[in-house]
Structure 1
Amino acid sequence: MTDGGTTRRIRARRYLSAWIGFSAGGRFSQALATTIVLFAFGEPTVRVLVGPAGTWSVLVTLAVLAGLSLLGQRYRIEWHGVLPLSLLVFVGYCALSVLWSEYSWVALRGLTATVGFVGLGLYLALGRDLVQVIRACGDAFRILLVVSLGLEVLSGLVLDLPIPALGIRGDIAFGGPIQGIGGTRNFMGFIAVTALVTFVVEFLTRSVARWRAVASMGGAVVTLMLVQSPITGLATIALAGTALALWTLRHARPSVRPLLDGVLATLVVAAGVVLVVTRARVLPRIGAAGGTTTRLELWEQIRTFIEQKPIQGWGWVGTWPSEPVVPFVTFIDPSGARFTSGLDAAVDAWLQVGLAGMLLLLGAGLLAFARSWVTATTFPGVAYVWPAAVLVLLGVTSLAESYLLHGAGLMLFVTVLVVAARRRSWRVRLPRLEERPHP
């Protein structure tokens, strides 16, 4: 029996070694990266099709495969000074919040999901180079947009019946709004505008055939027009301004760039102040007045709970739980349904992990943006425009949604955070452990 057990262990090790070697291959890694992006952005539809248990199974499976793939690539991956301390500190603080949470089991489950999506984001950033990440995102977004538009056409034009389980109402026959696989028009708009950024960078880097890039951009633009999301509209305007600023800075002389950066920062601050002062006139013009009223009422309710635990928060959960736990059970929208997020990443983070956690998240985001912006404006590779543009998109969207704190938004945030740190982290300049002189 001992010999038989030893033989089985040897075989198991050989199978595991063979699988690790296979998972480290380029084709498998790229296919896995595409599948990860597909799952993250299609999670609402996955949850409807296979339920919470099935969704957890997919997340765990992808995380395990990503871990094995990284293990197989461990000698090729540059780990020195890459993992951002700001990200590690924030995730660590979220983990600590489980200890003082009044709903420990729900908080532990939320933390597990957060760690899972953080792990998937790390795999994209470490297991693939930036161009490969963009290609994986581009392939995934093409599938998501085609499926979404196909379901909307099936519902609104062919069957003339809604698909309530997926949140599709079939309004494409009237020009929208459409929900696609996102479940809501805002999340579908988030998918479409992220896809548009990705397709443009694919076109500029010539990562795909010209006809495919142009057709993909056309599909993303059509989807953006059909979702009719005011939040996505503001994000698109911000991205257009970002594109103009990046083009100007990349073609400016190095000696002039600091001055241009200062002018741009002043313009952004001034535009923000004007938008806040004139919001009563601007928001109705873009169709966002009703949504803003709902958000203001929700934030006022959240404020009363923040005041009870302003520093440490109530405990990290990521996506708000469906269980009747305080304080999340008390937040009801005008239709009588419960809110699933705080509809603002900063407010949501403040509620969950307090002022300390919210400042850690804000600091991580600002540091990542500064790094990615400098890289995008000084590094010759056009692909490095993508992280900066994605961070602008996440930042603008986070003013009205909490996508940054969970799921695809969190995964994308972690990916660009690590990509930005790879070029600009101060720890890269520290000597490696094996290079340090012995005492």
Structure 2
Amino acid sequence: MRLILLFLFLSTLLNVNIVAATQVAPPVNIAPSLPNTQRNHDLVYQQLFSMHSQLASLDEKLQQQKTLGNDVKTLEAAQQALTIQLSRFQSQLDAQKNLQANKFTGFNGRIGDLKDSINWWFSILTIFLALGGLLIYKLSRKEAENVAHQQMEGFISSNADEILANAQVSLEKQLGEANTSVEYLKKYIDEARQIIEEKRKEVEAAADDVQRSIAEKQEPNPESLRILENSTNKISKGHTTAREYLNLASVGYGKKNYKETLKYLNLAIKTLKDSEKQTRFHAQLLWNTAIAHSMLKNVNAELKSYDELIQNFKSIHNEESWDFVARAMLNQGVVYAKQGKPDDELNSYATLIEQFKGSSNEDLQIEVAKAMANQGITYGQQGKPDDELNSYATLIEQFKGSSNEELQIEV
């Protein structure tokens, strides 16, 4: 507030002095030429005296304006007019040239100093007024903000109960809508999970059915193959798991595209996680690889796959993989028979019988019974009836009391 009053005072003072400056008495008019007489010389000197008086008065006013920092344009105009009049006397005052020149030089110097001084003070005053205006603006803005803040506080204080009541109603409404949305979302998620779970079970059942067909070298069920093929259409090739590769291989097998089957089986084996290695799933992949080689009539590759499966799992104390091991030993013996290698064939059967003859697992018992039967046939082909009869007798003795239909067929 003080700065505002100071600003108004300076503005008023500045205006007063500017008006005063504009009221400078005009210079005395002098005739354009004067006769060169003693009387006229005296008149000239009188006029010069009058002009000096005016210059003195002008100097005094310039000093005042310098102190107040006012506009000096009017004073400068008066000074210019007086200078013009003085110049007219130059031709009449040749005799007093040096004296008059020194006087005018002195006057001009003082007037120049006054001009520079007045200009400097005018610049200072301009900067001061600008800074003052900025301070006044900031103070006014701060006062306005304070007033607005006080009014807002007063409004909130006066209407606090109503504001809180409205906020509570709005919040309860939003919470109710949010709870309804959450319940709907939970129901939707539960339904989606149920559908996904049912679809997963359907795909797994189809995959198991196709795998059984592969194990038995049979044609896959068309419906199971269709379900499995539809599921593989959604597989992302960039982030495929080993199980997804197995499903892709199964579809290739169902289409009798055994090269594609081998491609996906090899990718599945390479993609196996550490936790999946030496598990039933790993054994299944090796078994399917051997079957795919068998369908391509690649005997050496088939035997190699059987051997890899046997060496990886025959010493593992995990019976869930032993059915694949037993099948691999049995099929290995059959392949050796086709190659005309009865000794290797009999060795495969003997290894199978020795490792699993004491197992109570019916799947393993079936493989043992088949090995004993094939062993007897091979001994007969070799002209060894005693060994042949011994193999049959062992088979009959061990499984004659079983109720399993497949075992009874072998007996």
Q: The TM-score by the shorter chain falls in which range?
A: under 0.3
Q: Which TM-score applies when normalising by structure 2?
A: 0.24
Greater Rg by CA = 2
User: What TM-score does the superposition give when structure 1 sets the normalisation length?
Assistant: 0.22
Q: Which has the higher contact order (CA 8 A, sep 6+)?
A: 1
